[in-house]
């Protein structure tokens, strides 16, 4: 089950998200879901959480290079 929320983004980021293919939008939603859940339920510092999420993403094939190319794709 999912629920829709509204999050403010800068104009360029919002444009890139809207222009992204549906499969990339789902990946971004998944990453955001994981990040928000970890942030809200964990007493750990944000940097530790972000490092762990980054490590998990890389283990699943989302390297910084792949992420950069996805974010720059238009």
- The domains of the chain are located at 12-72
Q: Identify the band that residue 74 occupies on the pLDDT scale cut at 50, 70 and 90.
A: low
Enter the pTM of the model: 0.57
Residue 15, pLDDT score = 93
The fraction of the chain above a pLDDT of 70, given in percent, is 97
Rounded to an integer, what distance in angstroms lies between the CA atom of residue 3 and that of residue 64? 29
Q: In this structure, what DSSP letter does residue 61 have?
A: T
CA distances from 69 to 18, 27, 31, 45 (A): 16, 14, 16, 28
**pLDDT digit string (tens) for 13-42?**
999 999 999 999 998 998 898 888 877 887
């Amino acid at each position: 089950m999912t629920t829709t929320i509204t999050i403010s983004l800068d104009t360029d980021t919002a444009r890139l998200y809207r222009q992204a293919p549906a499969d990339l939008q789902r990946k971004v939603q998944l990453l955001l879901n994981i990040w928000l859940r970890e942030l809200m339920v964990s007493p750990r510092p944000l940097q530790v959480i972000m490092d762990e999420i980054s490590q998990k993403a890389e283990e699943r094939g989302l390297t910084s290079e792949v992420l950069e190319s996805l974010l720059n794709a238009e």
